[in-house]
Structures are given as structure tokens and as C-alpha cells.
Amino acid sequence: MIMQPFITRFLMGAAFLAALAPAAAHAGPKGFLESLHRHTMLASTSPGNGDLNPYAVVVVPQDMGVLHKDDVLVTNFNNISNLQGTGSTIVVYSPATGNVTQFASLPPHLAACPGGVGLTTALTVLKSGWVIVGSAPSKDGSTLTKGDGCLAVLDANGHLAATWKGPLINAPWGDIAAIDRGDTATLFISMSGYDLPGPNVLDPATHYPPILHKATVLRLDLRIPQGQAPVLDKQTVVASGFSARADRDNFLFGPTGLALDTDGTLYVTDGYDDEVTAIDNAVTRTDPVTRTDDAVGRVITKGGLLNWPLAMMWVPGHHLLVSNGRNGQVVEIDPVAKKQIYAQWIDSDQAQQPPGNGDLFGLAMTPDGKSFYYVEDDMNTLNLSRP
């Protein structure tokens, strides 16, 4: 990772944004993003053990254990040696104090998790006080030594309570979309690790790592007994055939953003194909493997402002907001009109080309619905976009 003096980076970013100002000044309001004008660094996300590369960003819904309502949890995917798939910590940021503390530290070589621990963007906090996080582990920082991984269940004090593994769980990768009913819950998680080789294995036709159409979205139905850890009752693959590819710089490409609508439609970002798809009836559908028409869903939007779309969330106006992996922009989408509304630079670091390339990942709305949290994994920071 490239580190710059803060003042140098600030001046470069300000100049870059100023160059965009004349064009933006003539455009009328288009959506949520145009209400945001300031991007603030809040805190470092690197804990005492030196873990790096923040991925998931999730806001705590209510007081539970050591967590407080509106706290922000962040996972780390790399260890102190900057090897991907080896981060084992979750930190918590307190908006009330501005402090960051370590919430959980899992054993890096956790035997119950095939391949060990490398915490991803798959993170959620249930109302019952349980935290569920995905692991896509590696021994050398690449997919050459990737393990199948697992889902780890933590209590509200950060202690490991259970792990879930099996043939349908392989590199839990993207945002967790959830229906939380208190005593039961339904989770949707993308699985991106099936049969991925090491990044040195190249397709002779393209001279790049081969693209596999084996990534899935898995639905997990949970039962949550009073005072006990959640029980995984049922697993169902609701979408399959998404693009996945090993990558030396980014570990892997795979479906990352998941956002569930109130009508049961699940929206998914397919990063390698630069598209957002919609899985109809995701809460009730079964066995998409036999369906040839919509195994990965209906394409809502493709290309355009999308540039390796990653995390995704709902924003005011019933729009979707997506972070780009190959530049420092977020993109606002109207899923009903199937249109890309607007893009905004939230990371204009010109140390990367294009600016902000490889820096963004997780997103989370603030409880008041007016701003959003995001991470910059080149600087290992939690940030806030606000009016």
C-alpha cells in the first residue's frame, strides 16, 4: 500500500475535485449523492496486532454486550504482513467518542474454519445480539493456498460461539443481506471460491487467470433460541453462475454487493462483468441450477459508470449505492428505472491510477439516513460522506 503525507493527499484531492466542479455546477439534482459535499476521515481501522485492509462496514442496531447502538463494526482482510486472506480482527468505532477499539480477534489458524481466518465483507449484526462474519482464508495471500473458509458466529462481546462450514460455503465474500425477525433470520451471502486456482494459472487464450462461472448466492435460514447461538436450519442456493476469477492484486473477483428489497428481490453486484442483477423471489425460490433463463438474475444495469462494482446498499429515494473497485467513485442507481443516476468521487487519491483505484470496499448508511460510512483500504481508515 502507498502511504502519502496527509496534506499532500488533501491538496491533490482538492485540485482533482475542483477540476470537476464546472461540469457539476450546471447539473440539476439527481439523487442522494448530490446532497453530499464533504468526505471526512474518522479513524484508523488498524488494531493493535497491525491487521490491514478494512472490508466490511456495518452499523450496530441497538445496545448489546460491549457494543452500543450506532457503533460501526469494520473487518480486516489482511494481517500485519499485508497478506490477503489472513486478517483476523473486527474493530468497533464509536461515533459518540470517536474512538476505535478491537471488538474481536479470531485465531488465525482456527481449526473449525477450513483454511483458517481471513475476514471478508460478509458481516452482519442480529437484533438478538449475535455477530456473523465470513472468512475467505489464505496462507500466502493468494488463492493458491485459499481454504474453503466458514461463517463464524460471535456473541456481542466478541467471543466465538460457533462456526458453519460445508459444501455450499466456499469463500463467503460479499455483503450479507438479512431479514431479521428476532427469533429467526434469513441471510443472503455470496460464495466466490469454488475451484479458483492460484493467480499464476493463466488461460492460454487471454493470458489472464481463467474466468469461472461458479460463484453463487446462498440463502441461510436461521433459528435463534433464547439465550443461545443461532442454529443453521437450512441452506439454499438461490443464484449461481456468477463470474469469479483469481487475482494477484485483489485476491479474487466475485459477486460482492447484496441488497434485499421489500418485495423479496435481491440485487447483486457482479464485479468482473460490471453489472448489477436482480434475483426475483429470492426469499422463496429454490434450485436455480435447473433454471437456464435467470440463474444469475435479470440485468438491471451494466457498464457505464460501473467500474468493478463492489459493496452495495439502499439510500434515500429507493436507490442503490455501489462502490467501485477500480476507481474512487460511488455510483447511484435507480433499480426500477434501470438507470445509473450519478457518480461521485469520494476518494480522489492520485497515487493510484485512476484516482482511488483499489481503495474502496464496504459501505453503510448512518442511522439518520443523511450520510454514509466507507473505508479506504490504502490508508486503513473509516470515513464519512456527509452533506
More confident residue, 30 or 68: 68
Quick check: 144 and 92 in contact, CB under 8 A? no
Grid cell in block for residue 58: 456495518
Partner residues linked to 386 by β-bridges:
38
Whole-prediction pTM: 0.91
For the residues 314-334, what does the mean pLDDT come to? 97
CA pair distance 356, 344, nearest whole angstrom: 12
pLDDT at 294: 60
At the topology level, CATH places domain 51-307 in Neuraminidase (2.120.10)
For the residues 205-213, what does the mean pLDDT come to? 94
Lowest average pLDDT, out of 29-33, 53-57, 219-223, goes to: 29-33
Burial class (CB in 10 A: 0-12, 13-18, 19+), 387: exposed
pLDDT single digits (tens) 113-150 = 999 999 999 999 999 999 999 999 999 999 999 999 99
CA pair distance 336, 333, nearest whole angstrom: 9
Q: Which residues have a Cβ under 8 Å from the Cβ of 141 and sit 6 or more positions away?
A: 78, 81, 82, 83, 84, 85, 86, 251
pLDDT single digits (tens) 243-298 = 999 999 999 999 999 999 999 999 999 999 999 999 999 999 886 544 444 688 99
CA pair distance 135, 113, nearest whole angstrom: 8
CA pair distance 85, 132, nearest whole angstrom: 17
CA pair distance 186, 177, nearest whole angstrom: 8
Annotate 320-341 with b (16+ C-beta within 10 A) or e (fewer).
bbbbbbbbbbbbbbbbeeeebb
Q: Kindly report the number of other CB atoms within 10 A of residue 303's CB atom.
A: 10
